[in-house]
Amino acid sequence: MTPVRLDSSRVPAPILEILRRLGEAGHRAYVVGGAVRELLRGVPLQDWDVGTSATPDQVLGLYPDAIATGARFGTLTIPTQAGNCEVTTFRVESEYQDARHPGKVTFVRELEEDLKRRDFTVNAIAWDPLTGRLVDPTGGLADLDQGILRAVGEPRERFREDGLRPIRAARFAATLEFELEDRTAQALREARAEVGRVAAERVQDELMKMLRARQPSRGFEVLRHAGLLGVWLPELEACVAVPQNRYHAYDVYFHTLHTCDAAPSAKPAVRLAALFHDVGKPRTREEREGGEATFYNHQVVGATMTEEAMGRLRFGRDLTENVTHLVRQHMFDYRREWTDAAVRRFIRSVGVEHIADLFDLRIADNIGNGLKTGFPHYLEELRARVDAILEAQEALSIRDLAVDGKDVMRVLDLPPSPKVGEILNQLLEEVLENPQLNTRERLLERIRAGFSVDTRESGT
Can you give the binding site for Mg ion, defined by CB under 5 A? 34, 47
Helix (H) or strand (E) holding 217: helix 217-225
Q: At 225, give phi and psi (nearest 5°).
A: -60, -30
Give least dist CB 29 to Mg ion, A.
Answer: 17
Widest distance between CA atoms in the chain: 87
Nearer of residues 47 and 251 to Mg ion, judged by Cβ: 47
Least distance in Å: CB of 210 to Mg ion? 14
Are the C-beta atoms of 361 and 331 separated by less than 8 Å?
Answer: no
Q: Whose Cβ is closer to Mg ion: residue 10's or residue 440's?
A: 10
Question: Would you say 300 and 280 are in contact if contact means Cβ atoms under 8 Å apart?
Answer: yes
CB of 91 to ligand ATP, least distance (A): 10
Sheet holding 75-80, edge to edge: 67-70, 75-80, 83-89, 48-52, 29-31, 126-128, 133-135
Q: How far is the CB of 32 from ligand ATP (least distance, A)?
A: 7
91 binds, among ligand ATP, Mg ion, none (CB under 5 to 8 A by kind): none
118 binds, among Mg ion, ligand ATP, none (CB under 5 to 8 A by kind): ligand ATP
CB distance 332 to 350 below 8 Å:
yes
How many whole angstroms separate alpha carbon 290 and alpha carbon 298? 21
Question: From CA 400, how far away is CA 393, in angstroms rounded?
Answer: 9
Name the residue with the smallest CB distance to ligand ATP: 34
Q: In the bound complex, what is the minimum distance in angstroms from residue 47's beta carbon to Mg ion? A: 5
- Distances in whole angstroms, Cα of residue 296 to Cα of each of 274, 280, 284, 334: 18, 9, 6, 18
DSSP string, 72-136: GGTEEEEEETTEEEEEEE-EEEES--SSSS-SEEEE-S-HHHHHHTSSBGGG--EEETTTTEEE-
Residue closer to ligand ATP by CB (options 78, 431) is 78
Residues that bind ligand ATP (CB under 6 A): 33-34, 47, 49, 118-119, 123-124, 162, 164-165, 209
**Residue 162 binds: one of Mg ion, ligand ATP, none (C-beta under 5 to 8 A by kind):** ligand ATP
State which residue, 118 or 385, has the beta carbon closest to Mg ion.
Answer: 118
Which of Mg ion, ligand ATP, none does residue 74 bind (CB under 5 to 8 Å by kind)? none
Q: Is 132 left (phi over 0), alpha (psi -120 to 50) or beta?
A: left
Q: Of 158 and 281, which CB lies nearer to ligand ATP in the complex structure? A: 158
Q: Which is nearer to ligand ATP, 33 or 155 (CB)?
A: 33
CB-nearer residue toward Mg ion: 88 or 184: 88
Contact 140, 125 (CB under 8 A): yes
Count of positions (residues) in the chain:
460
Looking at residue 84, its amino acid is N
When the beta carbons of 27 and 118 are compared against ligand ATP, the nearer one is 118
Q: How far apart are CA 281 and CA 300, in angstroms?
A: 10
Tell the smallest beta-carbon distance from residue 31 to ligand ATP (Å). 11
Residue 302 binding result from ligand ATP, Mg ion, none, given CB thresholds of 5 to 8 Å by partner type:
none
| Closest approach of ligand ATP to the CB of residue 108, in Å | 15
- The residue sitting closest to Mg ion, measured at its beta carbon, is 34
- Do residues 29 and 51 make contact, with C-beta atoms less than 8 angstroms apart? yes
Residue with Cβ nearer ligand ATP (21 or 212):
212
Element (H, E) at 282: helix 281-284
Smallest distance, Å, CB 168 to ligand ATP? 6
CB of 245 to ligand ATP, least distance (A): 39
Separation CA 144–CA 257 (nearest Å): 26
CB of 115 to Mg ion, least distance (A): 15
Q: Which is nearer to ligand ATP, 171 or 330 (CB)?
A: 171
